[in-house]
A and B are shown apart, each in its own frame.
Chain A
Amino acid sequence: MKYVATLHMPVPKMKSFMRFGMSVKGMQKTHSIRSLTARDSRNRFVTVRMRWFRTRTVMMRLFPMKLRRKMSTYRTIRTDCFMSDTQKVFPGGFVVIRLDTVLDPAVLQRSQMITENPVDITSVLMDESAELSVSVTQIVQRLKGTHLHSQLEKQAKECLHKPEIKLETLKDDVRRLLKASGWERKLQNAVYRELHILPPSGHPRAPPEHTKEPLEYMCKAQVNWEKRILKSLNSMCTELGIPLARKRPVPEQKELTNKWNEMGTDEPDLSKFRPVYAPKDFLEVLVGLRNPNNERSEDLTVRSHWGLIQVSLNVRDIPQMREMYPELGLTYGQLGIDDHTHVPPDLFESEHIHIGKKVVSEQDSAAAQQYSRQGCPTGLRAQLWSLILNTTNDPEDITHYEQLKARVINHDLLVDNLIYKDVKLTASNDDYYFVFEDYLYQVLLCFSRDTAVLEHFSYNSATPPKSCIQNSSGSEQCAMVYPPNGVIPFHGFSMYVAPLCFLYNEPSTLYRVFREMYIRYLFRLHSVSSHPSGIVSLCLQFERLLQTHLPQLFYHLREIGAQPLRIAFKWIVRAFSGYLSTDQLLLLWDRILGCDSLEIVAVLAAAVFAFRAENLMEVTSLASAEAVLADLSTLKVMPLLQIFLFATSV
């Protein structure tokens, strides 16, 4: 049947809507979008829920701040369901509208939103086209010179030999052929990936540091924190007298090449090394964050924060989370709940796996991200995550990995010892991950030499540490980034890699997936910033959720000196890696990738506290509170999340 959607706005023809059998006539708007009414060919109004998951990415990034916020509240547009005379209501079609016209900015520009306030509309039009052009140009520049670009050119040239190509319609024919052979999809995936890591576009007058982190006091806090880390590393260097980098002698290189796959059997003397910092040191930094424009007294007043974090960031509460992530709701099937043994698979699981196979065969990044919001089946998870992160197994990637391996063999860095120490302390002692010890070395040693990671500092509030080298005469100074990737590993860093070892057994693929996950999400967990997925926002969100929905528990814990964040911080910093059982952890990370945000980690932390609330109300000290929450390995993640988000009375 054909769906006809009525839009009321001067949009000539939304070609993209027609792809889904919807002919679009106009749209009313609420602020940005008011309502969307749709009729199917039987002339019944249907409920149409529009998920702009790709459009959202494009439009949310390109539209100015205010429209972005408004859009986020209307991401799910539900319309009134109109009963027809036969009293039959079509059971809610779920139509996915994707304006996958990133390649065709003209169509996007035509999708103008008209708002009531004249201020908003004209600025939207102006900023939208300006920002769009800038973003498009930035993405094009980034993709030029990549392997994909040369492959596309080669394919286009080969297309010219095909008989269907006519000179008059050359461009269209080549485009059509590229689309049919799947190359357009690869380009779309690449563009989608670039959109994820595009640095935020700021006002033309704003300096680059401002676009990375607008709040000055957070910038200062990050700078001071980095100074402290460097001082600690410095003192370790001086104490031990070990050089930052050392070229390995040839016999040692040979030995390492032979032992590459079993570095775990090595037992170097690491007793003198200690981790540069641990999560609890970082927590003290966050607790000490103060906004100078805000007065905070130590007493419990109406305005004080009960928790440890004393800054007022905009964090989402439960109603807003429900709107943002409706796929986690009670009416949606979830892997982690509906694939339980006593639920017949026909209800949800087999259909979901079938869709998953289709998504993988289509090789569509955006669809995979949408799909994984309801969980990824174990058999397809590796491919789906690769697709979401757009880490194809090109020969280019394998070569890059081999280069990094060569660098590891040729040179020995000081941070290598820190990595060894960290792996020995954390992953090797864990029941689930000790088998992957060798993989962890292979990935992390290469990671610390990968200069491509430096690119993420354009949107990370942190700055890579530099080492000042004086030449022999002492006159010139040259600063270079150390370690080469700019990331100093801390205690527990290897736990970011460990869960991925369950999915990938090829070191080059494993490395690529880890690197992509790090530069998209995991770096936010250990740098001070005001980003909604940054660690400060996550901690504040956790505390707010707990304070709002379990005030008695929060107050009780506060009174006995067991601030909840002190217990939950280690979970949040590691995104629960090492605390949950691995299948549950992978289900959680499915949702992180699907929702493109780490907020779900904060919600889970609050949900765990809610689950164990009765026991916690009876404890009388921090130590006993920690004992109650020491073992999370029996928890099931998805039921906890669902109950906390969708079954809590608000």
Chain B
Amino acid sequence: MSANAVSCTIKSPVALQIGDAVSDSSRPGVYITDITLAEPVNIQEISFKNYYTAYLTVRLQRREDGSAKWVTCLRNYCLMSNPHAEDGSHDYFSIYRHQMLTEPDNVTTVRLILRQPSSEWLNFSIEEINIHPCAKEDSERDVPAWISTLTPVEEPLDLNHCGHVPVPIQLSFALEMDFLIQRRFPPAFSRCGHSLR
């Protein structure tokens, strides 16, 4: 994939609840996660894996002229079109620079506000958060770097990057039959995973 993710500290999510006591019967519908970056970064991409979060708001703290300012760069981005159903609940997402309302430059902290209005789900969160910095300074609308490895049609494309599932190696049919016949006892079936190792 693109440039290596910057190192960041992801704090544990804080639930927003009305009232003081944390009661078991009501589950929070909003979580806030802060991610602090070691040094100010120009963000190219934020990628993550969803776990039952319906809407995402992203706020950035930018360091400008010595002062730190909070700006909203994404408001109520919909991750699950129907919060009560499973659609999109486990999907991987990427938010790119050009999708953000403000320029994510010189960012010191990223705040993710997760919302899940449905009472169906016990928990919701966002996992595997990675923040990728800009590779080059001049790229405003940068395409994902893996697309530059896309070769023209005449040359073979490395499909491993595109979610292509490797089909188990198929021996010639006759050889396969010979293998099966040679054993004396019925073999034990097993699931050996997706591909031959």
| Interface, chain A (partner B; CB < 8 A) | 65-66, 69, 118-119, 122-123, 126, 129-130, 133-134, 136-138, 140-141, 199-206, 208-212, 214-216, 223, 226-227, 230-231, 233-234, 237-238, 241-247, 291, 293-295, 303, 311-315, 407, 410-411, 449, 451, 454-455, 457-458, 463-470, 478-482, 484, 530
Residues of B within 8 A of A136 (CB): 153
Assess A199 versus B99: contact at CB under 8 Å? Given A244-B180, A313-B85: no
Residues of B within 8 A of A411 (CB): 177, 181
Assess A303 versus B119: contact at CB under 8 Å? Given A134-B150, A204-B1, A312-B85: yes
Q: How far is the CB of B130 from chain A (nearest CB, A)?
A: 8
Q: How far is the CB of A128 from chain B (nearest CB, A)?
A: 12
- Say whether B196 contacts A478, CB under 8 Å: yes
Contact with A along B162-192 (1 / 0, CB 8 A): 1111111011010011011101001111111
- List 10 additional contacts besides A123-B99, A247-B181, A293-B121; criterion CB under 8 Å: A122-B141, A230-B189, A234-B188, A294-B121, A314-B82, A454-B170, A458-B167, A467-B189, A480-B168, A480-B180
- Say whether A201 contacts B122, CB under 8 Å: no
B39 close to chain A: CB less than 8 A? no
Assess A205 versus B189: contact at CB under 8 Å? Given A130-B144, A133-B147: no
Q: How far is the CA of A530 from the CA of B120 in the complex (A)?
A: 17
| Interface, chain B (partner A; CB < 8 A) | 1, 47, 49, 51-52, 74, 77-78, 81-82, 84-94, 96, 98-99, 101, 119-124, 128, 141, 143-144, 146-147, 150, 153, 156-157, 159, 161-168, 170-171, 173, 176-177, 179-181, 183, 186-192, 194, 196
- Say whether B92 contacts A311, CB under 8 Å: no
- Say whether B147 contacts A130, CB under 8 Å: yes
- Say whether A208 contacts B165, CB under 8 Å: yes
- Say whether B196 contacts A457, CB under 8 Å: no
- Say whether B90 contacts A480, CB under 8 Å: no
Across the two chains, which residue of chain B brings its CB closest to A234?
B189
Q: How far is the CA of A211 from the CA of B166 in the complex (A)?
A: 13
Across the two chains, which residue of chain B brings its CB closest to A467?
B187
Q: How far is the CA of A1 from the CA of B88 in the complex (A)?
A: 46
Residues of A within 8 A of B186 (CB): 234, 237-238, 241-244
Option from A199, A237, A407, A467 in Cβ contact (under 8 Å) with B173: A407
> Among B121, B177, B194, which residue has the most Cβ atoms of chain A within 10 A?
B177
Q: How far is the CB of A86 from chain B (nearest CB, A)?
A: 45
Q: How far is the CA of A457 from the CA of B92 in the complex (A)?
A: 21
Q: How far is the CA of A242 from the CA of B183 in the complex (A)?
A: 11
- Say whether A314 contacts B87, CB under 8 Å: yes
Q: How far is the CA of A53 from the CA of B146 in the complex (A)?
A: 31
- Say whether A243 contacts B188, CB under 8 Å: no
- Say whether B165 contacts A458, CB under 8 Å: yes
- Say whether B162 contacts A201, CB under 8 Å: yes
Across the two chains, which residue of chain B brings its CB closest to A214?
B90
Option from B120, B153, B171 in Cβ contact (under 8 Å) with A294: B120
Q: How far is the CA of A247 from the CA of B189 in the complex (A)?
A: 21
- Say whether B162 contacts A204, CB under 8 Å: yes
- Say whether A481 contacts B181, CB under 8 Å: no
- Say whether B173 contacts A208, CB under 8 Å: no
Q: How far is the CA of A247 from the CA of B124 in the complex (A)?
A: 56
Q: How far is the CA of A247 from the CA of B179 in the complex (A)?
A: 11
- Say whether A66 contacts B78, CB under 8 Å: yes
Residues of A within 8 A of B81 (CB): 66, 69, 314
The 10 closest A-B pairs by CB, nearest first: A203-B92, A245-B180, A314-B85, A237-B186, A230-B189, A208-B165, A458-B165, A214-B90, A479-B192, A202-B163
- Say whether A119 contacts B99, CB under 8 Å: yes
Option from A204, A208, A311 in Cβ contact (under 8 Å) with B86: A311
- Say whether A233 contacts B189, CB under 8 Å: yes
> Among B1, B82, B165, B179, which residue has the most Cβ atoms of chain A within 10 A?
B165
Q: How far is the CA of A478 from the CA of B176 in the complex (A)?
A: 11
Residues of A within 8 A of B119 (CB): 303
Across the two chains, which residue of chain A brings its CB closest to B153?
A140
Q: How far is the CA of A118 from the CA of B88 in the complex (A)?
A: 21
11 pairs, CB–CB < 8 Å, chain A vs chain B: A119-B99, A122-B96, A138-B164, A204-B162, A205-B1, A215-B86, A223-B191, A245-B181, A294-B120, A312-B85, A479-B168
Across the two chains, which residue of chain A brings its CB closest to B78?
A66
- Say whether B150 contacts A133, CB under 8 Å: yes
Option from B85, B163, B167, B183 in Cβ contact (under 8 Å) with A243: B183
Residues of B within 8 A of A315 (CB): 85
Residues of A within 8 A of B156 (CB): 141
Residues of B within 8 A of A141 (CB): 156-157, 159
Option from A122, A140, A293, A455 in Cβ contact (under 8 Å) with B122: A293
Q: How far is the CB of B197 from chain A (nearest CB, A)?
A: 9
Q: How far is the CB of A338 from chain B (nearest CB, A)?
A: 36
Assess A480 versus B179: contact at CB under 8 Å? Given A203-B94, A243-B186: yes
Q: How far is the CB of A646 from chain B (nearest CB, A)?
A: 24
Q: How far is the CA of A214 from the CA of B171 in the complex (A)?
A: 30
Q: How far is the CB of A637 from chain B (nearest CB, A)?
A: 29
- Say whether B163 contacts A123, CB under 8 Å: no
Assess A119 versus B86: contact at CB under 8 Å? Given A247-B181, A466-B191: no
Residues of A within 8 A of B153 (CB): 136-137, 140
Residues of B within 8 A of A215 (CB): 86, 89-90
- Say whether A449 contacts B163, CB under 8 Å: no
Residues of A within 8 A of B161 (CB): 204
- Say whether A138 contacts B159, CB under 8 Å: yes
Assess A210 versus B92: contact at CB under 8 Å? Given A130-B144, A407-B173: yes
Residues of B within 8 A of A484 (CB): 173, 176
Q: How far is the CB of B59 from chain A (nearest CB, A)?
A: 15
Residues of B within 8 A of A140 (CB): 153
Q: How far is the CA of A530 from the CA of B85 in the complex (A)?
A: 11
Option from B85, B89, B190 in Cβ contact (under 8 Å) with A466: B190
Q: How far is the CB of A289 from chain B (nearest CB, A)?
A: 11
- Say whether A457 contacts B162, CB under 8 Å: no
Q: How far is the CB of B156 from chain A (nearest CB, A)?
A: 7
